[in-house]
């Protein structure tokens, strides 16, 4: 197996080849596109990853919501876990997830359900996007993890009007803080067929303290590689940062069923030393909102990119 560094070199080589043929300059063109946050955004992608043994040279399409929308959803963190569950469901509905596609899954061992919004695709392949909505009693639980949960409706919105092969299942997990109860239940009740059809699980936990990071030692190398590659193309950062000392998170329940998973976060040594998580310091003022919105844009593009890697069916028509 090639080492990760070698993989990255060939990815960047692909980028260089693609950029040479682009007289306007890919980064310049993308920065122009991103000025129009409400417009449909296309990121040109030339991807060559050993692990996927396929080359993709095309645009990925997604429609990011504005920073105002992302921040207004973040601002709705108030209340206990029950209220937050209701708010998340409401925000999915406001984002366009209708009654047919939104559900509350009763979870054994939790008083609250998982909140699920399904965005159907044209194939039987699935990508799960998850974040826990519960919080501990100390602080407001904005960073951990309304920052992740409140992003789910905005990611749904970024994807909903674009053709896609995969079905995206957006899940707000209950009771992560008491032992990943909601994700454990969800992963455990998946049938063998559902596990086989699920090509990626993208977990978000604790965003907005710094630029985007991912938990390298607990992430599928191909998913991590694709995220780093995309961040580079978008002139952003996605840094490998292991956070074993923090504990666990929902993605491990999917890894346990051999579903490729990745956890995106924003913890740094600095924020860890500042003891923001699970303390009274976990409140809105701890969030670095500019970097939080950057993470949102990167994740929206990432979900669109992941759609390219599987499924032979034609994209869904609208």
- Least Å distance, CB 164 to Zn ion, is 28
Task: Please give the residue ranges that form the binding site for Zn ion (CB under 5 A).
Answer: 144-145, 205
Pick between residue 8 and residue 246 the one whose CB is nearest to Zn ion: 246
Angle 188-190-194 (CA atoms, 0-180°, nearest 5)? 150
Question: What DSSP element (H or E) covers 300?
Answer: helix 289-306
Residue 63 class from Cβ within 10 Å (0-12 exposed, 13-18 middle, 19+ buried)? middle
Using DSSP's 3-state secondary structure scheme, residue 169 falls into: strand
Closest Cα partner for 150 from 172, 176, 177, 128? 172
Pick between residue 114 and residue 145 the one whose CB is nearest to Zn ion: 145
Q: Looking up tokens 């209701």, which residue turns up?
A: 86
- Least Å distance, CB 246 to Zn ion, is 8
Pick between residue 132 and residue 160 the one whose CB is nearest to Zn ion: 132
Question: What DSSP element (H or E) covers 9?
Answer: helix 4-20
Residue 149: phi, psi to the nearest 5?
A: -65, -45
Pick between residue 144 and residue 291 the one whose CB is nearest to Zn ion: 144
Question: What DSSP element (H or E) covers 43?
Answer: strand 41-49
- Least Å distance, CB 155 to Zn ion, is 17
Strand 198-204 relative to strand 126-132, pairing: parallel
- Least Å distance, CB 276 to Zn ion, is 12
Contact 41, 64 (CB under 8 A): yes
Strand 198-204 relative to strand 261-265, pairing: parallel
- Least Å distance, CB 174 to Zn ion, is 12
Measure CA 145 to chain center: 13
Pick between residue 47 and residue 299 the one whose CB is nearest to Zn ion: 299
- Least Å distance, CB 248 to Zn ion, is 9
Pick between residue 19 and residue 268 the one whose CB is nearest to Zn ion: 268
Pick between residue 145 and residue 271 the one whose CB is nearest to Zn ion: 145
- Least Å distance, CB 175 to Zn ion, is 11
């Amino acid at each position: 197996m090639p080492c990760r560094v070698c993989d990255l070199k060939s990815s960047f080589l692909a980028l260089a080849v693609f950029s040479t043929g682009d007289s306007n300059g890919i980064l310049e063109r993308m920065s122009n596109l991103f000025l129009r946050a409400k417009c449909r955004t296309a990121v040109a992608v030339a991807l060559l990853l050993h692990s996927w043994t396929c080359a993709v040279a095309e645009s990925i399409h997604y429609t990011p919501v504005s920073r105002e929308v992302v921040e207004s959803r973040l601002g709705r963190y108030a209340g206990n876990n029950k209220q937050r569950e209701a708010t998340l469901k409401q925000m999915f509905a406001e984002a366009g997830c209708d009654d047919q596609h939104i559900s509350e899954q009763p979870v054994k061992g939790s008083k609250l359900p998982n909140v699920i919004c399904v965005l159907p695709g044209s194939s039987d392949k699935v990508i799960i996007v998850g974040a826990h909505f519960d919080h501990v009693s100390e602080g407001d639980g904005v960073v951990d993890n309304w920052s992740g949960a409140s992003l789910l409706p905005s990611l749904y919105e970024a994807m909903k009007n674009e053709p896609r092969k995969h079905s995206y299942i957006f899940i707000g997990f209950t009771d992560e803080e008491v032992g990943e109860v909601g994700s454990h239940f969800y992963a455990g009740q998946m049938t063998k067929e559902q596990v086989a059809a699920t090509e990626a699980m993208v977990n978000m936990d604790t965003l907005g303290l710094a630029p985007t990071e991912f938990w390298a030692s607990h992430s599928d190398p191909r998913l991590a590689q694709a995220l780093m590659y995309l961040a580079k193309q978008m002139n952003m950062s996605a840094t490998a940062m292991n956070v074993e000392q923090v504990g666990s998170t929902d993605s491990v329940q999917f890894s346990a069923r051999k579903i490729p998973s990745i956890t995106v976060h924003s913890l740094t040594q600095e924020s860890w030393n500042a003891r923001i998580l699970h303390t009274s310091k976990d409140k809105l003022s701890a969030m670095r909102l500019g970097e939080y919105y950057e993470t949102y844009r990167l994740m929206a593009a990432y979900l669109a990119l992941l759609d390219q890697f599987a499924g032979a069916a034609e994209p869904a028509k609208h």
